[in-house]
Each structure stands twice: as structure tokens, then as C-alpha cells.
Amino acid sequence: MSKRLAAEFFGTFWLVFGGCGAAVLAAGFPELGIGFAGVALAFGLTVVTMAYAVGSISGGHFNPAVSLGMAVGGRLDWKDLIPYWIAQVIGAIVAAAALYSIASGKAGWEPGGFATNGYGPLSPGAYSLHAALLIEMILTAGFIVVILGSTSKSAPAGFGPLAIGLCLTLIHLVSIPVTNTSVNPARSTGVALFAETAALPQLWAFWVAPLIGAAIGAAIWRFLLAGEEGAI
């Protein structure tokens, strides 16, 4: 179990450091910034690389919503859910702290939103709470369906991490303007602790919506889409 939790810690660290790092350090760099598309790709690449690196150890969740979806889908023992969540959240916080330390090495730098998620005035496009909750639930549900489907026994072997990473890239391309894209409560929590905005009071939304979406996505796969193999 300790190796599985270490894999979840390091994988979540990599996701937050790489994805949020791209947003904080590279997205708006003068003239050469990578923009929304670059940040979306960075998040997708973090999942692809770590899923191949440590997915065979822990399942490669790196996300409390994914872990819940795997439990509902029959791929994770319920007794392991909270330990996975703890490892993921700690990994996200450590990554955010490291990123903050690096970013603050530039003279005059201020954290501002620090790649946090938000709605209303904290949404990149000033979208409402209703819009934020709905898009986070829908996209997380779809993410879980892709994860369960691409890693099922009937799926082509070895391509699961690639499909999952591409799906996360797509998710970011759609929803960065709405919420700055969470679909991952650990990712949202880590950076919210260091922002100079009201990200912490809004954090509940980025736990509730992804978790509900994950449960819905897992139920859709398990009871409507999976073949004779069921949830396995």
C-alpha cells in the first residue's frame, strides 16, 4: 500500500507542478506565451507521462474524483479511497508550494490567482456558479467514462494513458474559460492555498462538482456501457 500511495503522491505532484506550472510560468510569457492551448496540452502530458511511469503501481489516478470513479466502477477497494485522497492532496500542496517558491524568484512577481479555479469574478470568462458546476460535472463524468473504457479488458492494450491524457487536454480546451478547469479537487486545493484571491471560499465547488460527476460517469460506464466484463 505504501508504494501505491507514494505513486499517487508523486503523480499528483507532477500533474500540479507541470500543469499549473505551465499556467503560472509560461502561459502569459511576453510574446512567446503558450496560452490556453499550451496549458491544456501540459495537463494532458502530465497524465500521459505519469500514467505510463507509475500507473501500474497505483492505477494512476492522481485525482480524488478519479479515485471515487474507480471505486464506484469497481476498480478500487472502498477502504483505499481516503488514503488515496490524502496522498493526492498532499502531493498537490507540495507541488503548489514548490511552484510558488520558484515563481516568487522573479522580482516583482505576485501570485494573484495562481492558476486557481473559480466562478463569478474568479472565472476567466466571468461565468456563473451554475455554469461552473455544470461543466465540471459533465466533463468529469466524461473523463471517468474514458478512463474506465480505455483501460477495460476489451480496449487495445497499452493505449489507455494516451487516451486519458488526450481526454484531459480536450477537457482543458473546453473549460479553461469557464472555471480555469478543475475536474480534480486535489489540483484545486493545492494552488488555492497560495492564491491572493477568494479561491479558498469557492473551493467547495471544485470538490462537489467533480465528485458528483465522477460518480455519474462511473455509473454510466458500469451499468449502461460496459459489456459482459461489467466494471472490470
Give the pLDDT confidence of 68-94 residue by residue, as tens digits.
999 999 999 999 999 999 999 999 999
C-alpha cell of 171? 477537457
Q: 228 or 153, which is more confident?
A: 153
Nearest Cα residue to 19 out of 2, 3, 42: 42
CA–CA separation, 132 and 123 (whole Å): 8
Q: What percent of the chain has pLDDT over 90?
A: 91
pLDDT at 232: 43
Q: Mean pLDDT throughout 204-209? A: 98
122 touches 113 (CB < 8 A): yes
The crossing angle, in degrees rounded to 10, of helices 2-15 and 185-192 is 60
The Cα 189–Cα 180 span in angstroms is 13
